Amino acid sequence: MRRGVVEGVTVLIAGVVAFPLYWMVLTALKPADEVISANPRPWTLTPTFDSFVRALTVQSFGRYLVNSLVVALAVVLLSLLISFLAATALTRFRFRSRTTLLVMLLVVQMVPVEALTIPLFFVMQSVRDVAPAFGLNHLGSLVLVHLAFSLPFAIWMLRGFVAAVPVELEEAATLDGASRVRFLWQVLFPLVAPGLVATSVLSFIHAWNDFLFAKTFIISAAENQTLPLALQVFVKPDQNDWGAIMAGSTLMTVPVLVFFVVVQRRLVAGLAGAVKS
């Protein structure tokens, strides 16, 4: 009986938490006149995809969606590879500056990335002269900064997972004649999969969510903008196209939601594992 009440409260809270998302999808599906009604109803009897069509055609959201995907996936792949190698080195090898490096990785996470926007802007300006694809106004610049900012956390997190793999496994693999490289990729890599999933979710979200760097670096190349910026195009001082904004927000949120639901179990396992270690 009491449990029923607690569960009722739980579901109510879940409803409140999910409500903004419901409102987003609902508004995206409402016809234009219902969206700008002074007495908004929490349902609609005449759902329409007009707002989605407007978002996709007028603002070519599709293009920005692809840009965002390219950046986020590139960051995830690169950071997985690089942080796995670094985490292995930091847990499995002994060398002089190991502890110093670990402390530096921790400290660097506290540096507000936003404060680095100014110098990074100038860095990207110089990169453009050497390698245009990775400099100002190009998606590569976003890949680079997000890679840099996701690495310290990813390495720190993966360390725990690599350390948790019993050393005996490596010994056994070596006895069986497996080379070190083979052991690394065929034994160790799959074993730390939960950690890899958790770190890739976090780096994906970082890159996907980024507004500041996209706003600062992609200044005069509209075709290279990412979703968070494109969404802002609809926001006008007096006449917001809320229907299109919410349709755009929906398009932007759905891929992350799908990603989250797919990896949900592993994500929780990953967070718990990282925390335990």
Partner 1 sequence: MTDVHLDPRPATGARARPEAPRAPRWKRRKSDGPIAFAYLAPALLVLVGLMGYPIYQLVLISLFDYGQEQVSGGAPLVFLGLDNYTRLLGDPKFWTVLAQTVGFAAVCVVGTLLVGAALAVLATRVRTWARMTLFLAALGAWATPTVAGSTIWLFLFDANFGFVNELLGTTGFSWTYDRWTAFGLVAAEVVWCSFPFVMVTLYAGIKSIPGEVLEAAALDGASTFRTARSVILPLLRPLLVVVTIQSIIWDFKVFTQIYIMTNGGGIAGRNLVLNVYAYQQAFAASEYGLGATIGVVMTVLLLLITLGYLRALRKSGEEL
* Interface with partner 1 in residues 225-254 (CB under 8 A): 227-228, 231-232, 235, 242, 245-246, 248-249, 252-253
Q: How many CB atoms lie within 10 A of CB 70?
A: 17
Q: Which of 31, 73, 117, 187 binds partner 1 (CB under 8 A)?
A: 117
Give 130: exposed, middle or buried? Use CB within 10 Å, 0-12, 13-18, 19+: exposed
> Which is closer to partner 1, CB of 194 or CB of 224?
194
205 touches 179 (CB < 8 A): no
Q: How far is the CB of 145 from partner 1 (least distance, A)?
A: 6
Stretch that binds partner 1, among 10-18, 50-58, 59-67, 189-197 (CB under 8 A): 10-18
> In the complex, what is the shortest distance from the CB of residue 186 to partner 1, in angstroms, rounded to a whole number?
16
Residues 23-52 that bind partner 1 (CB under 8 A): 23-24, 27, 35-40, 42
Q: How many residues bind partner 1 (CB under 8 A)?
A: 101
Site for partner 1 in 118-177 (CB under 8 A): 118-123, 144-145, 147-149, 151-152, 155, 163, 167, 170-171, 174
Considering the complex, what minimum distance in angstroms separates the CB of residue 227 from partner 1? 7
| Single-letter residue type at 138 | H
DSSP the chain: -HHHHHHHHHHHHHHHHHHHHHHHHHHHHS-HHHHT-SS--SS-SS--SHHHHHHHHHS-HHHHHHHHHHHHHHHHHHHHHHHHHHHHHHHH---TTHHHHHHHHHHHTTS-GGGGHHHHHHHHHHHHHH-GGGSTTSHHHHHHHHHHHHHHHHHHHHHHHHHHS-HHHHHHHHHTT--HHHHIIIIIHHHTHHHHHHHHHHHHHHHHH--HHHHHH-SS-GGG--HHHHHHHT--SS---HHHHHHHHHHHHHHHHHHHHHHHHHHHHHHHHHHH-
Shortest spacing between CB 95 and partner 1, in angstroms: 4
Min. distance of Cβ 178 from partner 1 in angstroms? 11
Pick from 43, 45, 100, 276 the residue near partner 1 by CB under 8 A: 276
Site for partner 1 in 64-93 (CB under 8 A): 81-83, 85-86, 88-93
Output 164 or 222, the one with its CB closest to partner 1: 164
Question: Which 184-223 positions form the footprint of partner 1 (CB under 8 A)?
Answer: 205, 208-209, 211-212, 216
Question: 49-68: which residues touch partner 1 (CB under 8 A)?
Answer: none
CA 185 to chain centroid:
25
Measured from the CB of residue 175, what is the shortest distance to partner 1 in angstroms? 9
102, 116, 187, 222: which one contacts partner 1 (CB under 8 A)? 116
The least distance separating partner 1 from the CB of residue 260, rounded to whole angstroms, comes to 4
